[in-house]
């Protein structure tokens, strides 16, 4: 009797100094799961980043990283323990968020033990078999180390399984992945070249770049949180409280810091038929999910498709109570009055707008040719007109900083502008992304510092030393102060944040006193 | 209408060993209640001890403000007709904090129905703040009267002491106790809480009694202590130090919370040693004021004593109050005071002001306050707003500013960007008034 091919799907933990697990669902992997199911696979999911009801994932102190440096250590290396350890001003603690590799090993061994005991039983039919393949998603390039560690654990427990690694990291840096992940003579394939039934591919480890076109229109296979492909219920399994939708891919623009073109093999925009997205929403809504999050390269580019979709949602009384989110931002130029009005009606409670900087020179340097302050005002004013309120996190704007050659005064100008006009700010520390023009522009510095990808995480201030050429006294404290100031702007009382630049008397008094105040 | 009596008369003439007294701490109706978890009816607990030991009558306690097992106090919007309270055009949403009135009624009903021996002959209701008499106090008296029509109701506490006539007019009580009986040697009758103890115990600064109370409380599993005293540094801080030293090692998780009465000018090296100790979970300093000016030097001195006591690093246990809503204040003054406090302490707490009936602030502004109903003297309604020429919305703005300054990032509140490039850059951005940036009049989008 021929058994169906079996695949274990793993979303690895991540090593980082901070992580916000609100939308941590491995949507790429779950879409691949749907695709593999169409090929007859039996599947089992281990989502190491599965969050609890409060949308928090477990974390464990992992190592200490010196900022803008390759130096790393654990307290044990210097004769100390975590309980008494305090990082120096130029260091940060890196945590393992999610299921650490040691605990993953235990989970895999449990699966292995069940397989062995099932083999001895005549009646056991619902045990997931030893996997033929292990599919691992790998997202940020600076998180690649946890992918490596997960592969090592998988290899140890299931040496016969072949491994597939896909996601943003192997797409942007396949050579790095081939060299560093510990795969055995891997094939490097584009998603469109994948053929699970090809005997040659079935025998080899594979690095997968870009998306699998046939998987793009498929709904996420969230049922894997409830039971595996052999019909065995997952312990404490429950559906996530939200799901992620991707209704388009690609972006026609080429911003200097963005890798969308590489991820999507060019500037072409692919749009998913709105009917299938609508059916997916209806399906999960009927199963109790109320929050739907759009993860897109540029949400409004397929505008008519998107507006058709949200019009259907807005008109559907069965979807009453739905919450829609687009936390990756919306292109302000395309936020037309009717679109934003419809978005509000359909269930978008909050908007995220990429302000990034008010400085025209910086905008030009980043290749942001399709946007400018006039366009920001356009989108912002339309949002306010549609009923989104200022100063209460209905409208949030991203501010980018930590870039090489940045004008720090412009960053302060941007945050003061955002505080006053919008009232809510999301600080975004810059990470250079391999394959982007910006990465190439500063490659010499990156190589000179000996940085690998994990050192380029924006939270580790990789360009601190570079920017000291312009600001000789610049220290981590300056960036922490700046980031802290941005977060503080969002503090609210009676649903409103403080307005630095307001014309009210308290704002004026604040400015007058701050202008001359000399702290001791 | 209720009769006015003194505390001594209450104890000597109105209660006998045949009585059963229910001591009741009523719910509170307010627009906000930041210190909710520190509400404890110390006067009732001391009276409880006195009634049991000296009068010998039956005593029970219903503390409507006691947090439940999860540490939270029930709260809800007021009914629709009272949900908003409007003061000079400003609408305040109103909430009830503490046990719902219906639950008080059910409790009394069940006592009446199931256990005649426990039926109270008197209910003594206390009140923590004078301006609350019209809300929770009056509603509670109404529920008692409706449920136990034959039971006498006595009102004690601050409202009864400071506004006896208004309380007598506004509440369905039999007696209003105008003078609080002084019971400095009575311990709090914790046993009245039964098997579920409160999470903390309020103390007064009498070392012998306080030490005994802490010991007894620790045995009952209470590990948090605070002082309800106007000046906890009195006598050079010696009583505070003595209580602390003799009790701090009773349990490894025992903690003191210095939430009021800590005047920076009265902090001595001995008090600083107490504050620096890890057994003190929080210290909130009162505002240091000398003749209308903030005494910045005093904060510096406190910090220096604390350093000498070993408290060198940033410590989020320390914060300082800044008054808002006092008569004749200026916005710039409040902002500057907030900055000074945050410059020396890690947290800032705006403390809204209410004139205590009969206090100098009341007497100095008697004519002005005469035009304002007492319920509107709640600090959260800013009774001096018109006198100060500061709009109530501007007071909300001050809270917003404080929230901004206080927001803890990397364990610290706003530090004026001390030692960073940021201070100058932020000033420069504010001077440039970058928020005035407008779209180009010729803009073309799409």
d(CA A22, CA B320): 35
d(CA B345, CA B204): 26
Contact partners, residue B9, CB within 8 Å, separation at least 6: none
CB B210 within 8 Å of CB B243: yes
Would you call A333 and B445 a contact, using CB atoms and an 8 Å cutoff? yes
For chain B positions 297-316, those within 8 Å of chain A (CB to CB) are 300
**Residues A199 and A313 occupy one common structural domain:** no
Which of A92, A505, A518 is best to mutate for the B interface (most B CBs within 10 A)?
A505
Q: What are phi and psi of B391, to 5 degrees?
A: -75, 155
Nearest-CA distance A325 → chain B (Å): 25
Helix (H) or strand (E) holding A208: strand A206-209
Chain A residues touching residue B294 (CB < 8 angstroms):
none
| CB-closest option in B343, B397, B421 to A478 | B421
In sequence order, what DSSP letters do the residues of B22-41 get, joined into one string?
Answer: EEEE--EEES--TTGGG---
Which of A185, A209, A233 terminates a domain? The answer is A209
A359: burial class by Cβ within 10 Å (0-12, 13-18, 19+)? middle
Burial environment of residue A391 by CB neighbours within 10 A (0 to 12, 13 to 18, 19 or more): buried
Q: Which residue of B has its CA nearest to A494?
A: B396
Last residue of a domain, one of A43, A70, A95: A95
Distance from CA of B249 to the nearest CA of A (A): 23
B interface mutation test: which of A412, A471, A503, A508 has the most B CBs within 10 A? A412
CA atoms of A117 and A109, how far apart (whole Å): 12
Residue A329 maps to a domain? yes
Chain A residues inside the 8 Å CB shell of B410 = 480, 484
Of B300, B399, B435, the CB nearest to A493: B399
Helix residue ranges, H only, A95-181: 101-119, 144-157, 168-172, 174-180
Instruction: State how far residue B45 is from chain A, nearest Cα, in angstroms.
Output: 36
Residue A171: give its domain's CATH number: 3.40.50.280
Give yes or no: residues A332 and A373 share one domain: yes
B430/A416 touch (CB, cutoff 8 Å), yes or no: yes
Contact A482/B335, CB-based, under 8 Å? Answer: no
Kindly state the DSSP code that residue A126 receives in the 8-state scheme: -
Residue of A nearest to B334 (CA): A509
* CA nearest to A429, candidates A454, A456, A452: A456
Residue A507 lies in a domain: no
Q: Do B396 and A493 touch (CB under 8 A)?
A: yes
Partners of residue A420 in chain B, C-beta under 8 Å: 434-435
State in Å, rounded, how far the first CA of chain B is from the last one.
75
Interface predicted TM-score (ipTM) over 0.85: yes
Chain A to chain B, count of Cβ pairs less than 8 Å apart?
163
Task: Tell me if chain A has a CB within 8 Å of the CB of B396.
Answer: yes
Q: Please indicate, yes or no, if residue A216 is contained in any of the structural domains.
A: no
Question: Are B434 and A501 within 8 A, CB to CB?
Answer: yes
Residue A219 DSSP class: P
CA–CA min distance B438, chain A (Å): 8
Q: How far is A149 from chain B (nearest CA, A)?
A: 30
B413 Cα to chain A: minimum distance (Å): 9
Give the DSSP H or E segment for A165: strand A162-166
Q: Is B404 on the interface with A (CB under 8 A)?
A: yes
* Residue A205 placed within a domain: yes
For A334, name the nearest residue in chain B, comparing CA atoms only. B446
Residue ranges of domains in chain B, CATH in brackets:
3-179 (3.40.50.280), 191-413 (3.80.30)
* Cβ–Cβ contact B424 with A under 8 A: no
**B256 strand-pairing partners:** B225, B280
Q: Give the chain A residue nearest B420 (alpha carbons).
A: A478
In terms of CA atoms, which chain B residue is nearest residue A513? B336
- Write the CATH number for A482: 3.20.20.70
Q: Is residue A498 part of a domain?
A: no
Residue spans of chain B under pLDDT 50: none
Element containing residue B97 per DSSP (H, E): strand B95-97
Q: Pick from A493, A496, A504, A516 the residue to mutate for testing the B interface (most B CBs within 10 Å).
A: A493
- Residue with token string 């009830």: B96
For residue A336, the SS3 value is coil
What is the β-pairing status of strands B152-155 and B175-179?
parallel
B405 at A interface, C-beta within 8 A: yes
Alpha-carbon separation of residue B160 from B6, B51, B99, B357, B372 (angstroms): 10, 20, 22, 11, 19
Q: Is B409 on the interface with A (CB under 8 A)?
A: yes
Find the residue in A nearest to B395 (Cα).
A506
Contact B383, B88 (CB under 8 A): no
User: Rounded CA gap, B48 and B191, in Å?
Assistant: 10
pLDDT given at position B114: 85
Q: Which two tokens stand for residue B168?
A: 């007598």
SS3 B312: coil
Q: How many angstroms separate the CA atoms of A141 and A14, rounded?
A: 11
Contact, B67 vs B197, CB < 8 A?
no
Residues in chain A: 520
Per-residue pLDDT of chain A (520 residues; tens, 9 = 90+): 467 899 999 999 999 999 999 898 999 999 999 999 999 999 999 999 999 988 999 999 999 999 999 999 999 999 999 998 999 999 999 999 999 999 999 999 999 998 888 877 766 667 888 999 999 999 999 999 999 999 999 999 999 999 999 999 999 999 999 999 999 999 999 999 999 999 999 999 999 999 999 998 899 999 999 999 888 899 889 999 999 998 888 787 888 888 888 887 777 777 888 888 999 999 999 999 999 999 887 777 777 888 999 999 999 999 999 999 999 888 888 889 999 999 999 999 999 999 989 888 887 777 777 778 888 999 999 999 999 999 988 999 999 999 999 999 999 999 999 999 999 999 999 999 999 999 999 999 999 999 999 999 999 999 999 999 999 999 999 999 999 999 999 999 888 999 989 999 999 999 999 999 988 7
Select from A95, A122, A157 the last residue of a domain: A95
Strand partners, B23: B61, B124
Contact in structure between B318 and B344 (CB atoms under 8 Å): no
Q: Phi and psi at residue B432, in whole multiples of 5°?
A: -70, -15
Nearest-CA distance B404 → chain A (Å): 5
Mark whether A406 and A420 lie in a shared domain.
Answer: yes
Spatial separation of the C-alpha atoms in residues B56 and B15, rounded to whole Å: 10
Q: Which residue has the tokens 């049991």?
A: B52
Q: Is residue A331 part of a domain?
A: yes
Instruction: Indicate if A203 and A344 belong to the same structural domain.
Output: no
Interface list for B 339-358 with A (CB within 8 A):
339, 343-344
Q: Where are the alpha helices (DSSP H) in B287-349?
A: 296-308, 331-344
Asked if residue A417 and residue A292 are part of one domain, the reply reads yes
| A222 part of a folded domain | no
Number of domains present in the structure of chain A: 3
Give the Cβ contact number of residue B333 at 10 Å: 19
Q: Hey, which residues does A59 pair with through a beta bridge? A: A97
Is residue A255 located within the same domain as residue A291? Answer: yes
Given the structure tokens 């009245």, which residue do they identify?
Answer: B192
Both A129 and A196 in a single domain?
A: yes
Per-residue tokens: A173:
């840096």
Farthest CA pair distance, chain B: 89
Inter-chain CB proximity B344 and A520 less than 8 Å: yes
Q: Can you say how many angstroms the Cα of residue A198 is from the centroid of all Cα atoms in its chain?
A: 32
Nearest residue of chain B to residue A498 (CA atoms): B400
Contact A256, A400 (CB under 8 A): no
Residue B191's φ and ψ, nearest 5 degrees, are -60, -20
Is B225 in contact with B249 (CB distance < 8 Å)? Answer: no
Pair (A169, A282) in one structural domain? no
Q: Do A21 and A66 reside in the same domain of the chain?
A: no
Question: Rounded to whole angstroms, how far apart are CA atoms B392 and A154?
Answer: 63
- Integer Cα distance of B43 and A501 in angstroms: 48
* Residue B410 touches partner A, C-beta closer than 8 Å: yes
User: Residue B265 to residues B138, B277, B284, B290: CA-CA distances in angstroms?
Assistant: 40, 20, 13, 10
> Which pLDDT score, from 0 to 100, does residue A125 have?
66
Q: Note whether A478 contacts B420, CB cutoff 8 Å.
A: yes
Say if CB B313 and CB B279 are below 8 A apart: no
Is A163 within the bounds of a domain?
Answer: yes
State how far the Cα of B142 lies from the Cα of B149, in Å rounded to an integer.
10
C-alpha A476: how far from its chain's center?
A: 24
Contacts of B407 in chain A (CB under 8 A): 487-488, 490-491
Q: Rounded to whole angstroms, how far apart are CA atoms B145 and B139?
A: 10
The region, left, alpha or beta by phi > 0 then psi within -120 to 50, assigned to residue B409 is beta
Closest by CA to A372, choosing from A332, A422, A410, A402, is A332
Q: Does B323 touch chain A (CB under 8 A)?
A: no
Q: Considering only CA atoms, give the Rg of chain A.
A: 24
Which residue range forms the structural domain that includes residue A160? 6-58+98-209
Across the interface, do B343 and A374 touch by the CB < 8 Å criterion? Answer: no
* Residue with token string 């960007």: B417
Rounded to whole angstroms, the Cα distance separating B387 from B369 reads 10
Residue B348 confidence (pLDDT): 95
A282, A188: one domain: no
Residue A243: in which H helix or E strand, if any?
A: strand A242-245
> Same domain, yes or no, for A402 and A426?
yes
Does A289 lie in the same domain as A189?
no
Report how far residue B414's alpha carbon sits from residue B412's, in angstroms, rounded to the nearest whole number: 7
């Amino acid at each position: 009797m021929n058994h169906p091919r079996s695949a274990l799907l793993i979303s690895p933990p991540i090593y980082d100094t901070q992580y916000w697990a609100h939308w941590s669902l491995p949507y790429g992997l779950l879409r691949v799961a749907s695709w593999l199911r169409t090929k007859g696979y039996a599947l089992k999911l281990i989502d190491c980043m599965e969050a609890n009801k409060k949308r928090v994932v477990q974390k464990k102190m992992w190592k200490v990283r010196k900022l803008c440096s390759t130096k790393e250590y654990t307290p044990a290396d210097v004769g100390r323990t975590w309980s008494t350890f305090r990082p120096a001003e130029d260091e940060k603690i890196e945590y393992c968020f999610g299921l650490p590799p040691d605990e993953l090993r235990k989970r895999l061994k449990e699966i292995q033990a069940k397989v062995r005991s099932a083999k001895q039983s005549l009646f056991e039919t619902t045990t997931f078999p030893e996997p033929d393949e292990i599919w691992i998603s790998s997202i940020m390039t600076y998180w690649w180390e946890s992918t490596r560690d997960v592969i090592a654990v998988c290899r140890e427990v299931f040496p016969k399984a072949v491994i597939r690694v896909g996601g943003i990291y192997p797409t942007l840096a396949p050579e790095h992945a081939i060299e560093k992940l510990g795969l055995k003579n891997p094939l490097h394939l584009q998603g469109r070249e994948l053929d699970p039934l090809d005997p040659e591919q079935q025998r080899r480890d594979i690095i997968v770049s870009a998306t699998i076109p046939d998987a793009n229109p498929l709904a996420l296979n969230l049922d894997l949180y409830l039971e595996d492909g052999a019909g065995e219920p997952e312990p404490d399994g429950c559906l996530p409280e939200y799901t992620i939708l991707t209704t388009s891919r690609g972006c026609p623009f080429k911003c200097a810091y963005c890798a969308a073109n590489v991820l999507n093999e060019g500037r072409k925009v692919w749009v998913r038929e709105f009917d299938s997205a609508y059916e997916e929403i209806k399906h999960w809504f009927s199963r109790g999910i109320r929050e739907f999050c759009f993860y897109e390269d540029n949400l409004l580019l397929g505008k008519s498709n998107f507006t058709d979709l949200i019009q259907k949602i807005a008109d559907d009384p069965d979807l009453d109570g739905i919450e829609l989110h687009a936390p990756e931002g919306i292109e302000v130029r395309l936020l037309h009055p009717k679109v934003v009005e419809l978005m509000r009606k359909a269930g978008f409670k909050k908007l995220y707008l990429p302000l990034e900087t008010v400085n025209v020179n910086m905008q030009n340097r980043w290749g942001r040719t399709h946007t400018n302050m006039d366009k920001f005002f356009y989108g912002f004013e339309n949002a306010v007109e549609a009923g989104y309120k200022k100063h209460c996190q209905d409208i949030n704007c991203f501010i980018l900083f930590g870039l090489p050659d940045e004008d720090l005064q412009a960053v302060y100008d941007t945050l003061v502008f955002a505080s006053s006009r919008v009232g809510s700010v999301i600080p975004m520390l810059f990470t250079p992304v391999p394959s982007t023009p910006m990465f190439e522009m500063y490659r010499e510095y990156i190589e000179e510092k000996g940085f690998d990808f994990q050192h380029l995480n924006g939270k580790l201030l990789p360009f601190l030393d570079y920017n000291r050429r312009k600001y000789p006294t610049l220290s981590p404290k300056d960036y922490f102060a700046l980031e802290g100031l941005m977060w503080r702007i969002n503090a609210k009382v009676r649903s409103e944040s403080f307005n630095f630049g307001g014309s009210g008397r308290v704002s004026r008094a604040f400015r007058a006193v701050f202008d001359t105040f000399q702290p001791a | 209408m209720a009769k006015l009596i003194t505390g001594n008369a209450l104890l000597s003439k109105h209660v006998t060993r045949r009585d059963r007294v229910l001591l009741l701490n009523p719910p509170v109706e307010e627009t906000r209640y930041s210190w909710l978890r520190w509400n404890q009816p110390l006067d009732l607990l001391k009276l409880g001890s006195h009634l049991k030991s000296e009068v010998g009558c039956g005593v029970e306690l219903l503390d409507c403000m006691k947090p439940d097992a999860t540490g939270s106090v029930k709260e809800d919007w007021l009914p629709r007709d009272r949900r908003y309270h409007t003061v000079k055009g400003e609408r305040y949403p109103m909430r009830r904090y503490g046990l719902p009135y219906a639950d008080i009624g059910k409790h009394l009903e069940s006592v009446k129905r199931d256990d005649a021996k426990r039926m109270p002959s008197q209910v003594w209701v206390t009140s923590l703040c004078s301006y609350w008499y019209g809300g929770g106090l009056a509603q509670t008296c109404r529920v008692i009267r409706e449920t136990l029509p034959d039971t006498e109701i006595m009102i004690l506490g601050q409202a009864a002491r400071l506004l006896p006539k208004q309380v007598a007019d506004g509440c369905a009580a039999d007696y209003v106790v105008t003078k609080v009986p002084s019971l400095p040697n009575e311990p709090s009758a914790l046993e009245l809480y039964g098997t579920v103890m409160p999470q903390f115990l309020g103390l007064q600064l009498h070392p012998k009694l306080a030490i005994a109370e802490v010991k007894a409380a620790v045995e009952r599993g209470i590990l948090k202590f605070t002082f309800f005293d106007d000046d906890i540094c009195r006598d050079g801080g010696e009583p505070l130090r003595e209580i602390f030293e003799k009790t701090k090692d009773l349990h490894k998780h025992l903690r003191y919370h210095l939430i009021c009465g800590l005047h920076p000018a009265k902090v001595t090296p001995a008090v600083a040693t107490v504050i620096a100790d890890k057994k003190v979970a929080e210290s909130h300093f009162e505002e240091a004021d000398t003749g209308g000016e903030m005494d910045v030097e005093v904060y510096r001195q406190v910090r220096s004593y604390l350093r000498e006591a070993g408290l060198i690093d940033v410590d989020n246990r320390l914060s300082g109050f800044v008054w808002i809503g006092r008569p004749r204040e200026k916005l710039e003054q409040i902002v500057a005071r907030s900055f000074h406090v945050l410059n020396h302490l890690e947290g800032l707490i705006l403390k809204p002001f209410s004139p205590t009936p009969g206090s100098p602030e009341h007497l100095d502004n008697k004519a002005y306050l005469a035009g304002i109903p007492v319920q509107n003297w709640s600090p959260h309604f800013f009774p001096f707003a018109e006198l100060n020429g500061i709009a109530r919305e501007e007071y909300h703005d001050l809270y917003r500013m404080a929230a901004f300054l206080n927001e803890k990032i990397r364990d610290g509140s706003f530090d004026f960007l001390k030692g960073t490039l940021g201070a100058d850059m932020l000033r420069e951005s504010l001077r440039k008034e970058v928020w005035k940036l407008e779209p180009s009049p010729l803009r073309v989008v799409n």
